[in-house]
Chains A and B, each alone.
Chain A
Amino acid sequence: MEPTDTELIAAVRKGDVAQFEPLIARYQPRVFATARRYARREDEIQDIVQEVFIKAFQKLDSFRAEAPFEHWLMRLAVRTCYDFLRAHQRNRETTLTDLSDPEVDWLERFAASPADNSKNTDAARALVERILAQLSPEARLVITLLEIEDRSVKEISQLTGWSVSLVKIRAFRARAQMKKILETLTREKYL
C-alpha cells in the first residue's frame, strides 16, 4: 500500500528528504498541465515545474494540512505561473497581418458562418494562444482560471491570494481587455 501524502510529508519533515520524490511523481502531471497553460516553450515549462517543487520543499513547514496537499501545491503552482507571466511580459501589440494564414482562414470562415466553424481547430487554438499572450498577466490568469478552467471566483481567490472583490474587478477588466484585442485583430478586415 502506498504511503499517504501526510505520511510522506511527515517523513520529509523529519529529515528523510528522499520521501519527497514520491510526492513529486504523484503530482507532477498536474503541475505540468498547469504550467503548459501559461508557458509555451518546453524549457520554460520545465523551469516552472522545477521551481514549484523546490518552493514546495522549502516551504513544507508552512503546510498545515488543513486542506489537501494537492490544493496547497496548486496554489504554489498558480502563483509561480503568475510570477512567470509577470517576468516574461512581451510586446503585446499585434495586428491582423501578424496572423498566420490558417488563423486568418479560420476567422474568415467564422465571419461567414459563426455557427459552423468546426474545421481546423489547430488554427483556432493558435488564435486563442495569440490572444491570451497579449493579455496582461493578471488578465491572462483570470481568463484562464475563470473562462477556460471554469473555476469559481472564490476558488480563484484562494488560488491567487487575491480578495474576491479584486478577482471580480480583474475579471471585468480582463474581459474588456480581451474584447479590445479581438476588436484590434478583426478591425482591419471585418469591421
Chain B
Amino acid sequence: MDLEKLQQKLMAIAKASPPSEQVPYAFEKRIMARLTAPLAVDVWAVWGRWLWRAVAPCMSVMAALGVWVLATMHPEPESQNLEQAIENTLLSGDDVAGE
C-alpha cells in the first residue's frame, strides 16, 4: 500500500470536513457567571499553602539548632579501663535495686 498516498488522502478528507462552530445555548452566560462569581475562600487550601511556606524556615531552624548542639557538646573522656566501664554499665541496675 502506498503510505504516502494514504496519508495525503486522509489529510484531504480531514481538510474537507472542518469542525463545527456550533455553540451550546447561552454558553457566554456560563462563562460570565464564572467570571463574576465571588471568590470562595478555601480555608484548607490557604492553611496548606501556609504550611508549605513554613517548611523552609522550620528546616533552617532545625539545621541551625543541630549545628549549635554539635558545636557545644563536650564529649565525655573515654574510660581508661573498658572492662570496668562495661561492668559498671551492666551492674548499674543491680546497684539501683540494692539501694
- A, B bound: yes
Interface set of A (CB-CB < 8 Å, partner B)? 17-18, 20-21, 24-25, 28-30, 32-34, 36-37, 46, 49-50, 53-54, 57, 107, 110-111, 114, 117, 121, 124-125, 127-128, 131, 147-148, 150, 178-179, 182-183, 186, 190-191
* Interface residues in B, total, Cβ within 8 A: 30
When A and B form their complex, which 4 residue pairs have the shortest distance between CB atoms, in order from nearest?
Answer: A36-B19, A29-B21, A24-B28, A190-B1
**Bound: A24/B26 CA distance, A:** 11
**Is the CB–CB distance between B32 and A37 below 8 Å?**
no
Within 8 A of A (CB), among B12-39: 13-24, 27-32, 34-36
**Bound: A18/B35 CA distance, A:** 10
CB distance from A30 to the nearest CB of B (A): 7
Q: Which listed segment binds A: B3-11, B48-56, B70-78?
A: B3-11
**Bound: A127/B14 CA distance, A:** 10
Report how many A-B pairs have Cβ atoms within 8 Å.
Answer: 90
Q: Note all chain B residues with C-beta closer than 8 A to A111.
A: 1
**Is the CB–CB distance between B32 and A46 below 8 Å?**
no
**Bound: A33/B2 CA distance, A:** 31
**Is the CB–CB distance between B31 and A24 below 8 Å?**
yes
